[in-house]
């Protein structure tokens, strides 16, 4: 009879247990990534986003997590999906985890992998439109809730997850109408988390304000005539003068960033969006005819700290002066978006001790093994502005470290490891936010005094 050493049996047991645990872990991660890919594959790109398929998917996820759900349509065909995890103290102001479901169009022929295939390459990168902006965040919310429920966590505050339409075209039929609705008022929201940006280094980025979009259209008119004749103040000549003046101003703002004096979100950025002129012909344009009209469009982003009155004077007096036969329109989808409230003060979320939500975010990120960088002004625009306009604190945050910024770019991707890390970060944040009781903290402050 052969005897087997007990130590060998124990080692074999440990190895087999480790193998089973590893297998289960891999299966869990595989399912998490698979759900992310499913969401990415839904074509919610403009101009015809498939909101129905997106909503059906989100509601199915809500059912699997035993979350309450409702679909709100302030405009027919543009649903906002609202999920609810009721807290044990529902009278406390609620937490809103906000995201948008729409994405910008993609030029398919410019991508290495089809933008709606959610291709996972051998290096672990998930290529898809929306992988960074911002289907990742919406799914990370859901996966974090899934983990917290598995642990038996009970939130003190009610948690809402909002998935809104139309952010990429201004949010007017989504977040704006939602923020002004009676439905939103009845939610008693105390803090809103919205999207941020990827970070190329180890530090996660968090945003307390954002630049407002001013979409400027400049039109020049002049005498039409033969292409060989030199005219003073022709439409094209006047428009090109304006473009050169604007280009110099843009360069001065860009120099501040290059010199490290200001961050992206702290300067006024200007980029030409379109140039329209010429007389069309069956083969292109009439080459021997000077056009009587010429037009250009500019995407301007204005930080809340900027002198907007000075900028408007600059546009009227330098960029599109009437004495040069020029006119302009300024707005974003029929209206200019202001970065100030009714009293003229910049709309920002405080990042000092007066805002406990900011400190809770910092601590939660650190507890999850992450590092938070210096508070920033978001260089573009998000739906968070509609909630800040109501006086609510709103923080932009997307946990994507060591990741190139690829929103709206070709070959947008997110590495699966960063996606999984982001879920752990949100687990920590949601747990901290949902457990926060300001009354308890007020009493502690009094005791310290």
Binding residues for Zn(2+): 100, 133, 168, 195, 408
Measured torsion, CA atoms of residues 351, 200, 370, 31, in degrees rounded to the nearest 10? 120
Binding residues: 100, 133, 168, 195, 408
**How many CB atoms neighbour CB 78 within 10 A?**
18
The two beta strands, 371-372 and 203-204, are: parallel
Catalytic residue among 167, 210, 376, 427: 167
Q: For this structure, is 102 an active site residue? A: yes
The answer to whether the peptide bond before residue 165 is cis (omega within 30 degrees of 0) is: no
Please state, in angstroms and as integers, the Cα–Cα distance from residue 365 to each residue in 368, 384, 426, following that order.
Answer: 5, 20, 8
Angle value at C-alpha 310, between 306 and 315, nearest 5 degrees: 110
**124 Cα distance to chain centroid:** 23
The angle that helices 416-435 and 6-41 make with each other, rounded to 10 degrees, is 90
Q: Cα separation of 261 and 259, whole Å?
A: 5
Residue among 103, 136, 134, 164 nearest 36 (CA): 136
Name the residue with tokens 């006119």.
327
Residue among 12, 333, 33, 35 nearest 167 (CA): 333
**391 Cα distance to chain centroid:** 20
Backbone phi and psi for residue 351, each to the nearest 5 degrees, phi listed first = -120, 20
Residue among 326, 404, 393 nearest 361 (CA): 393
**Helices and strands in the chain: count of H runs, count of E runs:** 11, 21
Residue among 139, 146, 147 nearest 35 (CA): 139
Catalytic residue among 45, 102, 143, 427: 102
Q: Cα separation of 383 and 207, whole Å?
A: 13
Name the residue with tokens 């979100």.
265
The two beta strands, 125-127 and 293-302, are: unpaired
List of residues 6+ apart from 288 with CB closer than 8 A: 226, 227, 228
Catalytic residues: 102, 167
């Amino acid at each position: 009879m052969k005897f087997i050493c007990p130590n060998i049996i124990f080692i074999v047991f440990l190895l087999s247990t480790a193998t089973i645990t590893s297998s289960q872990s891999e299966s869990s991660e595989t399912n998490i990534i698979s759900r992310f890919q499913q969401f990415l594959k839904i074509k919610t790109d403009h101009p015809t986003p498939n909101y129905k398929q997106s909503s059906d998917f989100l509601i199915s996820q809500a059912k699997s997590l035993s979350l309450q759900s409702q679909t709100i349509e302030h405009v027919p065909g543009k649903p906002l999906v609202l999920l609810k995890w009721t807290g044990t103290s529902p009278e406390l102001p609620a937490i809103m985890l906000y995201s948008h479901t729409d994405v910008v169009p993609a030029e398919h022929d410019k991508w290495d992998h089809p933008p709606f295939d959610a291709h996972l390459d051998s290096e672990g990168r998930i290529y898809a439109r929306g992988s960074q902006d911002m289907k990742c965040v919406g799914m990370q919310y859901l996966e974090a809730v899934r983990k917290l429920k598995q642990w038996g966590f009970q939130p003190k505050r009610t948690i809402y997850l909002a998935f809104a339409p139309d952010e990429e075209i201004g949010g007017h039929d989504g977040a704006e109408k939602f923020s002004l609705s009676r439905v939103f008022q009845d939610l008693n929201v105390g803090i809103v988390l919205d999207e941020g940006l990827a970070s190329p280094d180890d530090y996660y980025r968090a945003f307390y304000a954002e630049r407002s979009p001013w979409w400027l259209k400049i039109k020049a008119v002049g005498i039409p005539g033969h292409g060989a004749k030199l005219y003073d103040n022709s439409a094209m000549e006047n428009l090109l003068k304006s473009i050169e003046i604007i280009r110099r101003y843009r360069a001065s703002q860009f120099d501040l960033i290059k010199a490290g004096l200001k961050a992206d979100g702290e300067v006024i950025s200007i980029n030409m969006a379109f140039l329209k002129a010429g007389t069309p012909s069956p083969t292109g344009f009439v080459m021997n005819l000077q056009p009587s009209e010429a037009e250009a469009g500019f995407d301007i982003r204005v930080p809340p700290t900027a002198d907007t009155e000075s900028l408007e004077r600059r546009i009227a007096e330098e960029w599109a002066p009437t004495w040069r036969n020029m006119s302009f329109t300024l707005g974003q989808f029929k209206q200019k978006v202001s970065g100030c409230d009714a009293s003229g003060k910049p709309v920002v979320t405080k990042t000092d001790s007066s805002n406990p939500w900011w400190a809770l975010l910092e601590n939660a990120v650190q507890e999850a093994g992450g590092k938070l960088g210096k508070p920033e002004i978001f260089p573009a625009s998000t739906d968070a502005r509609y909630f800040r306009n109501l006086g609510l604190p709103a923080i932009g945050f997307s946990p994507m470290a060591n990741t190139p910024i690829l929103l709206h770019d070709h070959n947008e991707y997110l590495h699966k490891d960063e996606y999984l890390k982001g879920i752990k970060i949100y687990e920590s944040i949601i747990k901290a936010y949902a457990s926060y009781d300001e009354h308890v903290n007020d009493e502690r402050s009094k005791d310290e005094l």
